[in-house]
């Protein structure tokens, strides 16, 4: 059984509840411009997507009780190129309010990190201030993935298409995903192997934007990834556990 299964089940139920309460036609209209997420990741050097994450199924409580405004401002001062805000509630302790708060507190582009299973989530992401969303290949049938990817693009949202193995990468490439996230975490065992990124990289065509995720906490890891052609890393747990968020982020970005 995949660790995704219970999360996806609760997500579908929660999305249905939200949609019944506030249909797409009644979602707030976005007034500000979408920030350039891809440009932030493709700037010279290794770009860091710094994540706000309170807890996770694999790590338990990571950090709670710190204001999200303080977290994202520390990341911005520390040189992060973009932010990732976990909005899933039951397993990760997040919410769309976290995204809205981060949007108001920082000028960086923001990835809504959640388990997208329905087009409704694309529209609420846009309304809440996201510039990018996550599409997990393991969580979606190919047709779902293709449809959600196309609709995200039509809304102006960037989609980070996340893969874990060769088969999933082939699926991501079959829909011509521009931005591919390689998650080093095994969704069945929840173990992390940072070599996963290096194993999949040679299969990715030139011109794609690549983000490495999970198990990254040291500058030498980022240097090795950069030398291999990775554009950005997503770092959450190691930053959130740091006593000094700004300094921890700066240590990865200098």
User: What residues are annotated to the active site?
Assistant: 51, 53, 113, 162, 183, 213-214
Q: Collect all residues with Cβ–Cβ distance below 8 Å to 65 and sequence separation of at least 6.
A: none
Of 85, 86, 88, whose CA–CA distance to 10 is shortest? Answer: 88
For residue 174, what are the contacts with CB-CB under 8 A and spacing of at least 6? 142
d(CA 46, CA 42): 8
**Residue from 195, 181, 189, 172 nearest 231 by CA:** 181
Name residue 19's beta-bridge partners: none
Q: List all residues 6 or more positions away from 25 whose beta carbon is below 8 Å from its beta carbon.
A: none
């Amino acid at each position: 059984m995949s660790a995704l299964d219970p999360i996806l089940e609760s997500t579908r139920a929660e999305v249905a509840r939200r949609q019944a309460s506030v249909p797409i036609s009644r979602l707030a209209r976005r007034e500000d411009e979408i920030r350039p997420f891809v440009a932030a990741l493709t700037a010279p050097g290794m770009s860091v997507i710094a994540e706000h994450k309170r807890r996770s199924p694999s790590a338990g409580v990571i950090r709670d009780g710190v204001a999200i405004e303080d977290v994202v401002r520390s990341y911005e001062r520390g040189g992060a190129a973009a932010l990732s805000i976990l909005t899933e509630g039951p397993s990760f302790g997040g919410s769309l309010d976290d995204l809205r708060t981060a949007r108001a507190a920082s000028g960086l582009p923001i990835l809504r990190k959640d388990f997208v299973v329905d087009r409704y989530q694309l529209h609420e992401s846009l309304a809440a201030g996201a510039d990018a969303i996550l599409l997990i290949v393991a969580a979606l049938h190919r047709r779902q993935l293709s449809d959600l990817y196309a609709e995200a693009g039509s809304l102006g949202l960037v989609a980070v298409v996340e893969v874990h193995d060769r088969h999933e990468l082939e699926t991501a490439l079959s829909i011509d995903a521009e931005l591919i996230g390689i998650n080093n975490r095994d969704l069945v065992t929840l173990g992390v192997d940072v070599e996963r990124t290096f194993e999949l990289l040679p299969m990715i065509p030139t011109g794609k934007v690549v983000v490495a995720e999970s198990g990254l906490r040291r500058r030498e890891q980022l240097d090795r990834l950069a030398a291999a052609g990775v554009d950005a890393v997503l770092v959450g747990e190691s930053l959130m556990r740091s006593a000094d968020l700004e300094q921890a982020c700066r240590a990865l970005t200098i």
